[in-house]
């Protein structure tokens, strides 16, 4: 297709309209977004509800496509409406203009993460419904806020409420990650996220002395132990080509604080680590190891968890899960090269899985530079339209499982 044909394509128009709504952190007004989604629901003929799990500033939009057997567990097609901040001076196109170049690249924040998936769901359902198709299971399309900053005001609270329980969800679709090569990734699990804060107390005094049990000595010991463990994970990653970043535990020092003056030994130093545990790690045993290191360092170290997500069981990717079987079979029949992986970051799927509902993350984007959260984020029009065709096969297959 030419640029003119892409620009005149109705689904591309809808996608670009969605991208132009600046649902960007830190202060988001979702009003225009909710209005847009209501119009889309009306155009397809789907009933729509707006619910507020926490407050009216953070709405969840839910559309319902009634199935032939609504008593069966339903399918949810989840996407988030918020996007991360931009540094506009680093972009060659305005980040909320949805400009398209001659090669069909559509530039906008959210083009990959993940407004594309939200409107691809809509496009696939629009086409299927227009053809007269009705799924066996009821299908819900959920558009949630707050995912980019932890989901606390969106999906995390929503799954705890009676409204979500009333949807009788049996399986969830959610986002994946863009692939730079020809393959497509299917994400069946996520690593467990900790933000761990060490408050290290020690002997204070004059900087000219060699005082015992200083906070600096203890910090040195703890940081060395954490970095030595980090090195083992990096070694695994470098030596085993069959694994990737989602299969190892990442440890990164992200913050250091303390001290009042250059010639004063401080009574307190603080260090923060971002830790993301591989699904194979015995997390309670690792926490005990950290506490043992703190004692070995000399004690006087308080651990404070700024975030301590619970371990969540991965979604089963075997014959015991009929949704997985239908999902994988469909992509195989489409001739798509796929790989089942552990998501390296965190998505709303962790909240879904935590209440026992299987979920798979998948974005039908390949042969595209990975620009999630980066400058000049873009998606090609042909890739977007191909993704709709994929969902037109994938949604019915899973809904009929």
Residues annotated as catalytic (active site), given as ranges: 82, 147
Residues whose CB falls within 8 Å of the CB of residue 228, separated by 6 or more in sequence, listed in order: none
3-state DSSP helix/strand/coil percent for the chain, to nearest 5? 35, 25, 40
Per the DSSP assignment, residues forming a β-bridge with 79 are: 143
Residues in the chain: 401
> How many CB atoms neighbour CB 124 within 10 A?
22
What is d(CA 329, CA 333) in angstroms, rounded to the nearest whole number?
Answer: 6
Q: Which of 80, 96, 77, 78 is nearest to 88 (CA)?
A: 96
**Three-class SS state of 13:** helix
Contact indicator for 222, 304 with CB cutoff of 8 Å: no
Q: How far apart are CA 84 and CA 92, in angstroms?
A: 18
Tell me if the bond preceding 47 is cis, omega within 30° of 0.
Answer: no
Tokens (6 digits) for 72: 């069966």
């Amino acid at each position: 297709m030419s640029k003119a044909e892409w620009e005149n394509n109705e689904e591309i128009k809808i996608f670009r309209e969605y991208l132009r709504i600046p649902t960007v952190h830190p202060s988001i007004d979702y009003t225009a977004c909710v209005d847009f989604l209501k119009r889309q629901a009306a155009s397809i003929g789907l009933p729509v509800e707006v619910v507020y799990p926490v407050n009216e500033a953070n709405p969840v939009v839910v559309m319902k496509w009634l199935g032939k057997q609504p008593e069966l567990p339903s399918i949810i097609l989840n996407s988030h409406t918020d996007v991360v901040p931009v540094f506009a001076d680093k972009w060659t196109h305005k980040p909320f203009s949805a400009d398209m170049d001659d090669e069909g690249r559509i530039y906008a924040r959210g083009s990959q993460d993940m407004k594309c998936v939200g409107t691809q769901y809509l496009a696939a359902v629009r086409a299927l419904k227009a053809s007269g198709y009705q799924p066996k299971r009821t299908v819900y399309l959920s558009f949630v806020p707050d995912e980019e900053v932890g989901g606390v005001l969106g999906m995390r609270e929503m799954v705890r409420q009676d409204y979500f329980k009333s949807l009788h969800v049996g399986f969830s679709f959610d986002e994946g990650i863009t692939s730079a090569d020809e393959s497509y990734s299917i994400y069946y699990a996520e690593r467990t996220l900790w933000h761990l804060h060490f408050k290290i107390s020690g002997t204070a005094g004059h900087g000219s002395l060699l005082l015992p049990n200083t906070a600096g000595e203890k910090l040195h010991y703890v940081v060395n132990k954490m970095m030595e463990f980090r090195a083992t994970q990096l070694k695994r990653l470098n030596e085993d080509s069959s694994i990737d970043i989602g299969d190892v535990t990442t440890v990164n020092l992200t913050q250091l604080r303390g001290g009042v003056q250059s010639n004063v030994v401080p009574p307190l130093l603080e260090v923060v680590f971002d830790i993301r545990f591989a699904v194979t790690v015995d997390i309670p045993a690792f926490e005990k190891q950290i506490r043992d290191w703190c004692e070995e360092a000399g004690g006087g170290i308080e651990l404070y968890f700024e975030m301590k997500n619970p371990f969540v069981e991965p979604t089963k990717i075997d014959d015991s899960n009929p949704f997985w079987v239908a999902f994988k079979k469909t992509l195989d029949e489409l001739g798509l090269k796929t790989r089942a992986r552990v998501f390296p970051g965190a998505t709303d799927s962790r909240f879904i899985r935590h209440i026992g509902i299987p979920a798979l993350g998948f974005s039908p984007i390949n042969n595209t530079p990975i620009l999630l959260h980066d400058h000049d984020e873009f998606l090609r029009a042909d890739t977007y339209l191909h993704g709709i065709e994929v969902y037109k096969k994938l949604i019915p297959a899973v809904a009929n499982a």
